Structure 1
Amino acid sequence: MSDEYESGGARPPGPLDGDRGFDLAGRLADRERRDLRRELSPADRVAERAQFAPASGGDLPVLDGEERLVFASNNYLGLTNDDRVVEAAADAAEVVGTGAGASRLLTGDTLVHRDLEDRLAESKQTDRALAFSSGYAANVGTIAALDPDVIFSDEYNHASIVDACRLSGAEVIVYDHCDAEDLAAKLGDAARDPGTTDGSWLIVTDSVFSMDGDVAPLSDVCDLAEQAGAWVMVDEAHATGLYEGGGGIVQREGLSDRVDVQLGTLSKALASQGGFVAGDDDLIEYLVNAARSFVFSTGLTPPAAAAASEALHLARTTDRRDRLWRSVEFLREGLTDLGYEVPGETQILPVLVGDRGDALALADALYDRGVVAPAIRPPTVPEGTSRIRVAPMATHAAHDLERCLDAFREAGREVGVL
């Protein structure tokens, strides 16, 4: 290489010439052709009903003025606007500050964080818990810190788990969705393979799957893990706060002492932002020191921590959970009576349509009737299984649920799926 180039002069000709940029316009056009392009549609509030602005790109959004029922949120307990949660966040901002100001290992650790983590540990029936800036950061940081040699992952695991597995450098073995027999077979194959016999093994699964509303066979997974000498990690993002004591499926099934790593999010039923890991003292102390997404991130904001802590308290002590489950069963029964197929067993109601075009048309027809419920299509779900994902909130009134069913009846007939 020439002295001129090394000192910042002209670039030498040859292999370095040419356009090595990124054709983003072409990529967007390709997504448009494949019906995969999505757009932002801002709302005026996060609650059971809201006004929305049409997609505006980079321009300032303008609300369309019509309030719609929202059946598309993970705000399952409807606590984002609860006066007690709002007050807890405001008090934390006034007393502690609007931001943590630094990583938790520097000066960003506050009493608000510790209060939240104590409540999380109690609800998850573990020694300790640790709050992260997001559920994504909790997954990526935890799996990377554990540094497993082999990971066994459910094929429908959430994207943050998938990305964490890819980034870990481990050998990743994907087993069939919620299939304990396939997991057993793959554990057996790995035990016989000289390349995977030694080292640490981690089985990781969601507890509630966000697009199907079904539940992992956690007891069987724990049995298989104990036979194989593997650890179990369960992401309770869509279950935390919704079961007895504010826990998740792990607590419902009485498996707190058999699941080595419990993850969750603060941004769904707990009406805030952030994620957490719960487990024994050694696990949490290790993550404090080794999880890069914790060590090198500014701590969760005090208002977010306080809001989540209060929301967890309300999930444990009020009738919000009961109200949610009554609404879930009412909608499931009503949608089924209309002729829709609604699998699953949780608060997530996947209304199967099949064809992606029909699903998009049904979502648009629902929107026109004042109901926001998104179409979920490939690659998020397999081909031929496009659906409308319905997620009620505890704060939806009886007439809201009736209006939702009326919209599904009219829209389904208009689109031709009923």
Structure 2
Amino acid sequence: MTDSTPSDATSPDRERRAEPNEDHGFSLESRLAAREARGLRRDRSPARDVCARTRFAADPKGEPPQFEGERQLVFAANNYLGLATDERVQRAAAAAAREVGTGAGASRLVTGDTGLHRALERDLAGTKGTDRALVFSSGYAANLGTISALSPDVIFSDELNHASIVDGCRFSDAETVVYEHADADALARAMAARDGAADECWLVVTDSVFSMDGDIAPLAAICDTAERHGAWVMVDEAHATGLYGNGGGLVQREGLSERVDVQLGTLSKALGSQGGYVAGDEALVELLANEARSFVYSTGLAPPAVGAAREALRIAREGEVRRALWSTVERLRDGLESMGYEVLGETQVLPVVVGERDDAVVLANELEERGVVAPAIRPPTVPDGTSRIRVAPMATHTDDDLERCLTAFEAAGTEVGVL
């Protein structure tokens, strides 16, 4: 039996822990200070709701947020179709909660699988032109679980792929070859240079829409290259699902459903809900349901999120909200470029290039002062000298909202000296 440890601050144990070479704790304050010094520490500003206009509170830490002041225009959300607050989607979520429950209660492989989950998966498979689909708790979980379950020997990954793809590659323990962004020729060179055994499994992974540059992957050329080497293609449609091809993504717009082996996406952006999905053939879905750890060991997606996503997908397929979004995108892009801003990409993501990190931060602050919320994206998220304002319009932004946004950009840009 040992003596009890003294509880006062002068105890020998506490003195030993204070010695640098014997302290096995975590120096969190110094890590935070280092992020602060590099300009990388972020604060969370709670939003009153997820509408096109809302109030924000300063970071309250552990206290309740205080929503004061005027509502601000939000040009920073991935709720592209504005469906998160659509009454039809909200009713579908409420109905699912009443009829099925607020939570799935268990893993889908135990008792957490419901008819509602299966209905959404049938809808997704129909939209994506595949045999089946499988719904995960998030797009992040879908990437980690899918890449690791496929267990490729070599992964060829676009250099600007999302962090969830990067982490999926790491988690899979495969050899990962990073090729130049959106460059099918670079992919071809990388594959040709890699001498592999005949029985190796190769996987090419790319986003379809890249969220920081607003550009798209050359999917047809990627498929061409992969097919020459017998490799599989996996496309993450996180920022494209619901926006193209009858509610599908760029894979559908390009007519590539039969050539892309693994179609992955999220329900939390244009579909205004939560969760992720993988769509593909029968064998793929059965394998993932048995071997994707992020699926097997996670509670099934909450029924309200399932019901909301299913209704949002139905609305997206009708096309009216999609047409409204693209009209908004065109008007905003034209207005920003006519002022002299450089706007990258060709999608609903409008990266307004500023250049220097400090200028981008000041411009974002000036926009916020004028009632427009659009974040500054800076290194290391983007390369040095390409700091930008990432503008993400929504289908629910009105003509007045767009005019106010453009007016704010003109005044703020003049104030900062980037126009």
| TM-score in terms of structure 2 length | 0.95
Question: How far off is 1:66 after superposition?
Answer: 1.3
SS at match of 2:382: coil
Secondary structure (helix, strand or coil) at the match of 1:263 reads strand
d(CA) in 1 for partners of 2:344 and 2:87? 35
Q: 1:136 aligns with which of 130, 135, 140?
A: 140
Deviation per CA, 1:356-389: give whole Å up to 9, x if none: 1000000000000000000000111111110000
Residue of structure 2 in register with 1:44 after alignment: 48
Look up the match of 2:396: 395
Partner of 1:82: 86
Distance in 1 separating the partners of 2:226 and 2:21: 54
CA contact (8 A) 2:247 2:319 kept: no
Whole-Å Cα distance in 2 between the matches of residues 25 and 304 of structure 1? 37
CA distance in 2, matches of 1:393, 1:126: 29
**Residue 398 of structure 1: how far off its partner (Å):** 0.7
**8 Å CA contact 2:144, 2:165 repeated in 1:** yes
In structure 1, the residue matched to 2:353 is 352
Deviations for 1:268-307, whole angstroms, at most 9, x for unmatched residues? 0000000000000110011111111001100000000000
Q: Deviations over 1:108-153 (max 9, x none)?
A: 0011101111111111010100000000000000000000000000
Partner of 1:215: 216
1:177 — aligned with what? 181
Structure 1 residue ranges (4+ consecutive) displaced by more than 4 angstroms after TM superposition: none
Letter in 1 for 2:176: V
Residues 2-401 of structure 1 aligned to structure 2 (within 5 Å): 18-190=22-194, 193=195, 198-401=199-402
Is the CA contact 1:264–1:275 (under 8 Å) kept in the aligned structure 2?
Answer: yes
For the residue of structure 2 that corresponds to 1:80, the secondary structure is helix
Q: Tell me, which stretches of 5 or more residues in structure 1 are unaligned?
A: 5-9
Amino acid at match of 1:147: S
CA distance in structure 2 between the aligned counterparts of 1:382 and 1:276, rounded to whole angstroms: 31
Residue segments in structure 2 that go unaligned for 5+ positions in a row: 3-11
Q: Any idea what the Cα deviations from partners look like across 1:75-128, whole Å, max 9, x if unmatched?
A: 000001111000000000011000000000111001110111111111101010
Q: Distance in 1 between matches of 2:418 and 2:61?
A: 32
Which residue identity is paired with 2:113? D
How far apart in 1 are the matches of 2:279 and 2:308? 19
CA contact (8 A) 1:363 1:374 kept: yes
Counterpart residue identity of residue 67, structure 1: R
Q: Is the 8 A contact 1:214 1:346 kept in 2?
A: yes
User: What is the aligned partner in structure 2 of residue 7 from structure 1?
Assistant: none
Quote the Cα distance in structure 1 between the aligned partners of 2:344 and 2:55.
30
- Tell me how far 1:260 sits from its aligned partner: 0.2
The residue number in structure 2 matching 1:410 is 411
Q: What's the offset of the Cα at 1:352?
A: 0.2
Aligned partners of 1:335 and 1:342 also within 8 Å: yes
Task: Report deviation, 1:326.
Answer: 0.4
- C-alpha contact (below 8 Å) 1:54/1:64 kept by paired residues: no
SS of the residue 2:84 aligns to: coil
TM-score by length of 1: 0.95
